[in-house]
Copies of this chain bind each other. A is one copy, B any other.
Amino acid sequence: MAEILNGKELAKKIRTNLKVEVEELKKQKKYPKLAVIMVGNDQASSIYVKNKSKACDEIGIDFEEYLLPEETAMQELLSLITKLNEEKEIKGILLQSPIPAHLDIQKAFETINPKKDVDGFHPISVGQACIGQDTFIPCTPLGIVRLLEEYKIPIEGKNVVILGRSNIVGKPLMQCMLKKNATVTICHSKTRNIQEITKQADILIVAIGKPKFITEEMVKENAVVIDVGMNRLENGKLCGDIDFEGVEKKVSYITPVPGGVGPMTIAMLMQNVVKATKME
C-alpha cells in the first residue's frame, strides 16, 4: 500500500506559515492583494475562484474579484488588466482560464505586468523559468515539487515522466524537474507505446484530463505517482487521471484526488502573491 502524498494537509501547513509571514509584512506596511479576473460563467472556474478567495481570506491577503460578462470585448479585458497593472495596491493579477473563445488569452497574459504575474504565464516569466532565473513559476508545477520535497522524495537522477505538455502544467513542470536534475521525458497525445514509457518512470506525473487513464499495468513497482487530473464522473464524483484503487497497491507514493495536487496549487498561488508583495 502506497503512502498518500497529502496535499491538503501540507497546503494547510503552508497557509499557516504564510499567514505569519503576511502579518510580518503588514507590520512593514506591505499589504498583499490579489485581483482575480473571470470572464463568463464557467462553473468549474467559479469554484476555483471561490477556493482562491477563501485561501486569501484565511491568510490575510486582500482579494478583489472582477467578473466580466461572456460577451466582453478584448479591448475591455485589456483595459481592465492595464488598470490593475497601474493600481499600486494590487500586488498580483490572475486571469482565470478558460475565457470565452473570441478572446485571445495569450495576448491577455502578455498584458499583465510581469511583476504581478503570480500565475507565471507571461512569456517573460516562462522564459526566465526556462533559463533557470528566479521568477514566478506556475502554481501547479511549483506545488508538485513542494509536495515531493516535503516527503523527501529524491528527484536528482530519477526518471521523471510527464504526461501532458500544456503551458500551464506539463511544460513548466519539465523545467522544474530539469532544474532538480531529473532525467525528464514528456509524453502527449501523439506518443506511441505510452505504457513502455510510463513503466520506466521513477516519478510519473499525469496531467491529461482522462479519468483513470493510468492503470496498474502502466506503472513501475514502487514508483511515485502524481495525479494532476480532476475529472467529474457521470455519478457526480471527482476522479483523477490515475486509477487510484488499482495503482496504489503497486506504488510507493500516490496523490489522492481530491486532496493532492489541487490544494497545493492554491497554496503556491498564495505564496506567489506573498512573493510579489515582498518584491516591490
Contacts and interface: CB of A to CB of B under 8 A. Distances in A.
A4 interface: no
A207 B23 CA distance: 49
A190 B185 contact: no
A188 B171 CA distance: 18
B185 A185 contact: yes
A188 B192 contact: no
A190 to B, nearest CB: 4
Contact of A130 (B130, B157, B184): B130
Interface in A140-199: 156-157, 165, 167, 171, 174-175, 178, 181-188, 190-192, 197
B190 A156 contact: yes
Given A123-B128, A131-B123, A184 B185 contact: yes
A141 to B, nearest CB: 13
A206 to B, nearest CB: 15
Contacts of A128: 123, 127
A156 B167 CA distance: 19
Contact of A123 (B124, B174, B186): B124
Contact of A178 (B123, B127, B165, B175): B165
**Chain A interface residue number, banded:** 20 to 34
A196 to B, nearest CB: 8
A169 to B, nearest CB: 13
Interface string A193-235: 0000100000000000000000000000000000000000000
Contacts of A181: 188, 190
Contact of A127 (B127, B132, B182, B192): B127
A148 to B, nearest CB: 16
B126 A192 contact: no
Contact of A131 (B106, B133, B157): B106
Contacts of A188: 178, 181, 183
Nearest to A170: B178
Interface string A129-141: 0111100000000
A117 to B, nearest CB: 11
Interface of A: 106, 122-128, 130-133, 156-157, 165, 167, 171, 174-175, 178, 181-188, 190-192, 197
7 contacts: A123-B128, A123-B130, A125-B127, A126-B127, A127-B128, A165-B178, A183-B186
The list of the 3 closest CB pairs from A to B, nearest first, reads: A127-B127, A123-B127, A126-B127
